[in-house]
Structure 1
Amino acid sequence: MTHIAVTTWSLEQTSPADLLPAAAPEGDVRIVRAEVPSPEFSRFLYASVGGDILWTDRLGWTYAQWQEHLERPGVETWVAFDRGTPAGYVELTPRDEGVVEIEYFGLIPAFRGRRIGGHLLSYGAARAWDLAERWPDRPATKRVWLHTCSKDGEFAMDNYLRRGFTLFDTKVEEERVRPTPGPWPGAYPA
């Protein structure tokens, strides 16, 4: 069984003023909230974005687990579309006491390197800060945080720092290497 050392960095913003928005990319890029909980669509986004960067924690989720997560009050999925095609997403998950986690964020490989990521992250962080406006039972956001790791894309950390996130924790752990199928088995040849 193969293991690798994985470094995980946790970053945060503690004020909406921390957010440093990226410029919108050229072309017809739109970001839309997926308001109807859809396990099929969310799993498609998760597998398509995370397939080549070894996202595995949700691959074994059942339909009911996806549905339960997506129906939690305050959980939001914001999807970037490039000329009508899904390009990536950001998933917001509220935690206790005004904390919102950007639980997942990323782009489908074909859309990376086109300046969509900075724009999507900016938009997602702004929606984390104003989450209580859409969910009146949630407290006002006091902190937005996320984590990234050494398996993520080479520009991920730079994007987070450029958007005003600051590092607050670093961990290194051994992790078993698990093959991921991507959006379908064999989608990402070795």
Structure 2
Amino acid sequence: MSTIAVTTWSLEQTSPTDLRPAAAPDGDAVRIARSAVPSPEFSRFLYASVGGDIRWTDRLGWSHARWQQHLARPGVETWVAYDRGTPAGYVELEPQDDGVVEIVYFGLIPAFRGRRIGGHLLSYGAARAWDLAERWTERPPTKRVWLHTCSLDGEHAMANYQRRGFRLFDTKTEEEPDVTAPGPWPGAHPDTRP
């Protein structure tokens, strides 16, 4: 199997005052809501639809039970952006030890990219990471929010993170398998459509 060099950048905020929110898209067509009922089907749909063209493959093999177990963990939250009622993208938050919250996944379904939704969704998700303990009283107050992005992500990802106040704290480059991104279902990737 061939490999490709992938650079991963880790970024963080260490205070809620680090967050520099983006403006919400004009009008009231875009809303963001928490997916409060753990749904493996919906979460897998979001994961595959957002990450299908940028090589998100690590969760594709998860069983229904594995998804359910992950989503049911206290403090794991999925916040979904809707454009006129249609899911447009999501942010997944995962609390860690000592008041740390990771933005594990963030992104938009390809058809919704370039519409000024991403900055707004990231701002909203980061704010929910900072106030996570208000919804999960067994969690300590958030002291740090972090995420990672890589050279396989969209060309505007790093700039969006930095505009929202995330600061770079680590960079790594590793060889990874050169896998085909399947899209949300086989044949759905733009490169494989007739």
TM-score range, shorter chain: over 0.9
Between the aligned partners of 2:19 and 2:117, the Cα distance in structure 1 is: 17
Matched residues, number: 190
1:82 maps to amino acid = D
Amino acid at match of 1:187: A
* Equivalent-residue separation in structure 2 for 1:184 and 1:176 (angstroms): 20
Q: Which moved more, 1:24-33 or 1:92-101?
A: 24-33
> Secondary structure in 2 aligned to 1:101?
strand
In structure 2, the residue matched to 1:7 is 7
Per-residue deviation, 1:180: 2.6
Deviates more, 1:135-144 or 1:179-188: 179-188
Distance 1:13 1:150 in 2: 21
My pick for the range that moved more, 98-107 or 172-181, is 172-181
Uncovered stretches (5+) of structure 2, i.e. residues with no partner: none
Answer yes or no: is 1:24 the counterpart of 2:24.
Answer: yes
Which 4+ residue blocks in structure 1 deviate beyond 4 angstroms?
none
SS in 2 for 1:151: coil
Equivalent positions of 1:34-73 (< 5 A) are: 34-73=35-74
Q: SS in structure 2 opposite 1:183?
A: coil
What is the CA-CA distance between 1:189 and the residue it aligns to?
Answer: 3.6
**What TM-score results when the alignment is normalised by the length of structure 1?**
0.99
Partner Cα separation in structure 2 for residue 160 and residue 29 of structure 1: 20
Shift of residue 102, structure 1, vs aligned partner: 0.1
- Following the alignment from structure 1 to structure 2, what is the Cα–Cα distance between the partners of residues 179 and 63? 23
The answer for the alignment partner of 1:133 in structure 2 is 134
Answer with 68-77 or 175-184: which moved more: 175-184
3-state SS, counterpart of residue 61 of structure 1: coil
Aligned-partner Cα distance in 1 for 2:53–2:47: 11
Deviations 1:79-111 (A, max 9, x none): 000000000000000000000000000000000
Mapped partners of 1:154, 1:109: distance in 2 = 13
What is the correspondence of 1:28-177 to structure 2 with a 5 Å cutoff? Answer: 28-177=29-178
Amino acid of the structure 1 residue aligned with 2:35: A
Q: Which is further off, 143-152 or 22-31? A: 22-31
- Deviation string 1:16-55 (CA, Å, 9 cap, x unpaired) is 0000000001231000000000000000000000000000
Q: What's the CA shift for 1:181?
A: 1.7
Q: Name the SS for the 1:125 alignment partner.
A: helix
3-state secondary structure, aligned to 1:52: coil
- Structure 2 length normalisation: TM-score? 0.97
SS of 1:180's equivalent in the other structure is coil
Unaligned runs of 5+ residues in structure 1 are none
Taking only the aligned residue pairs, the percentage that are identical comes to: 81
Give the letter for the 1:49 counterpart: V
CA RMSD in angstroms, aligned pairs only: 0.6
Per-residue deviation, residues 115-168 of structure 1 (Å, max 9, x unmatched)? 000000000000000000000000000000000000000000000000000000
